[in-house]
């Protein structure tokens, strides 16, 4: 019983409810193809959400991820259209992601500017770069192997992006909950001053996190380009909000120090199932977005309300 009363327990119940609802309402829901589609449509966001989890637990935020995705995708389109070999272009794009992450890291971890400000500026800056690169065009004509990797099954029924998601999920989950580095992320997120007075290298941990974020966002941008087969300057615009929603609904505290990978995965499953279920029953995208918004508000309200109740009961 106590187990179910945790945030993860509530999320698990909510997931089962949406899943059951979908099964009942939409007969085609349980097909393997629909299950894979359900992930595939948001795969870039959910990959980036995994790194965002670490960053928010560290009491920082990275608003620039969607712009880094866009910049990476556009760089790829620009290079390939210009005759650059696609394999080389992939390496360049990943490097662009690392550079973007390094710029964020230097300004946040070394210069000490709040990440909210830095990454908001970079959200605008990197997006501007992307638009300058591709202007108003749509750039496509990628080599077949690229679109094949982006769209078709690679491992059994699973496409590359889903394989990557599962690998990152396991890797980052272990990193966060089982390694010394993960412990440092949590402690710094709880109280950076305590971490500093305990001899932890706070700047280094933050630098690594923003490098990871830049790299994975760039990778997600490539997956996005490969899946759609073409890119435009507005690729991925606004994704950062969906990504942060997934993390916060997963029970990660916006103030840092608290959160688990399990919670975030459950939150991702809930959001995907809700959207998919509503799409299958012909509910429009606007309403879908509204429902997710209500869910997010509830996710922040419910723990606060239960806390209040507990305090009041303790007083009485």
Partner 1 sequence: MSVLDLRHVSKSFAATAALKDMDLSIEPGEIHAIVGENGAGKSTLIKIMTGVHQPDQGQIFVAGVAVTIRSTQEAQSHGIAAIYQEPMVFPDLDVAENIFISNRAQGAFMNWKQIYAQAADLIAQLGVTLDVHRAASGLTLAEQQTVEIARALSLNVKVLIMDEPTASLSAHEVARLLSIARALKAKGVAVIYISHRLDEIFQVADRVTVIRDGQHISTKPIAQVTPDGMVKDMVGRAIDTFAVKSAANPHGDSVLRLEGLGRSGVFSGITFDLSAGEVLCFAGLVGARRTDVALALFGISPATEGRILIDGQAVTITSPQQAMSHKIAYVSEDRRKMGLALSLPIFANISLASLGKLLGAFGLIDRKAEAAMAEGYRKQLAIKSPHVGVEVGKLSGGNQQKVMLAKWLETKPRILIFDEPTRGVDVGAKAEVHNIIRALAQEGVAVLVISSDLPEVMALADRVLVMREGRQAGILDIAEATQEKVIRLAAGSAHGQVAA
* Binding stretches for partner 1 (CB under 8 A): 174, 178-181, 183-184, 186-187, 190-191, 193-201, 257-258
Q: Cα–Cα distance between 229 and 143 in angstroms, integer?
A: 9
Is 142:81 a contact under the CB 8 Å cutoff? no
Q: Cα–Cα distance between 46 and 180 in angstroms, integer?
A: 25
CB of 186 to partner 1, least distance (A): 7
Nearer to partner 1, 84 or 181 (CB): 181
Distance of alpha carbon 221 from the chain centroid: 12
Element (H, E) at 237: none
> In the numeric block, which tokens belong to residue 190?
């709880």
CB of 152 to partner 1, least distance (A): 33
Q: Which residues neighbour 288 within 8 Å (Cβ) at sequence distance 6 or greater?
A: 274, 275, 278, 279
Q: Which of 250, 245, 244, 246 is nearest to 262 (CA)?
A: 250
Distances (CA, A) of 19 to 32, 113, 299: 14, 43, 19
Nearer to partner 1, 148 or 258 (CB): 258
CB of 203 to partner 1, least distance (A): 10
CB of 198 to partner 1, least distance (A): 5
Nearer to partner 1, 196 or 310 (CB): 196
CB of 115 to partner 1, least distance (A): 20
Distance of alpha carbon 300 from the chain centroid: 19
Q: Cα–Cα distance between 110 and 141 in angstroms, integer?
A: 41
Nearer to partner 1, 186 or 296 (CB): 186
- What is the SS3 assignment for 5? coil
CB of 263 to partner 1, least distance (A): 16
Nearer to partner 1, 169 or 291 (CB): 169
Is 60:206 a contact under the CB 8 Å cutoff? yes
Nearer to partner 1, 24 or 194 (CB): 194
CB of 194 to partner 1, least distance (A): 5
Nearer to partner 1, 28 or 193 (CB): 193
């Amino acid at each position: 019983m106590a187990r179910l009363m945790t945030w993860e327990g509530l999320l698990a119940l909510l997931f089962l409810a949406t899943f059951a609802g979908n099964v009942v309402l939409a007969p085609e829901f349980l097909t393997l193809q629909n299950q894979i589609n359900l992930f595939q449509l948001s795969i870039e966001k959910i990959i980036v959400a995994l790194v965002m989890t670490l960053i928010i637990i560290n009491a920082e935020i990275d608003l620039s991820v969607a712009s880094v995705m866009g910049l990476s995708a556009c760089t790829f389109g620009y290079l390939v259209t210009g005759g650059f070999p696609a394999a080389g272009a992939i390496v360049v794009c990943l490097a662009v992601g690392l550079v973007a992450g390094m710029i964020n890291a230097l300004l946040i971890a070394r210069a000490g500017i709040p990440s909210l400000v830095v990454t908001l500026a970079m959200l605008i800056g990197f997006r501007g770069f992307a638009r300058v690169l591709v202007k108003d065009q749509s750039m496509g004509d990628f080599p077949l192997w690229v679109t094949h990797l982006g769209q078709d099954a690679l491992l059994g029924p699973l496409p590359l992006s889903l394989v990557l998601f599962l690998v990152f999920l396991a890797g980052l989950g272990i990193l966060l909950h089982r390694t010394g580095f993960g412990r440092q992320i949590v402690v710094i997120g709880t109280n950076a001053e305590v971490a500093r007075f305990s001899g932890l290298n706070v700047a280094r941990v933050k630098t690594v996190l923003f490098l990871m974020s830049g790299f994975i966002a760039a990778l997600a941008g490539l997956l996005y380009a490969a899946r759609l087969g073409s890119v435009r300057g507005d690729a991925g615009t606004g994704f950062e909000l969906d990504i942060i929603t997934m993390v916060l609904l997963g029970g990660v505290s916006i103030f840092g120090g608290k959160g688990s990978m399990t919670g975030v995965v459950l939150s991702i499953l809930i959001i995907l199932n809700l959207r998919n279920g509503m799409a299958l029953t012909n509910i429009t995208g606007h309403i879908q977005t509204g429902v997710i918004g209500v869910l997010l508000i509830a996710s922040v309200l419910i723990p606060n309300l239960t806390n209040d109740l507990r305090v009041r009961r303790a007083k009485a």
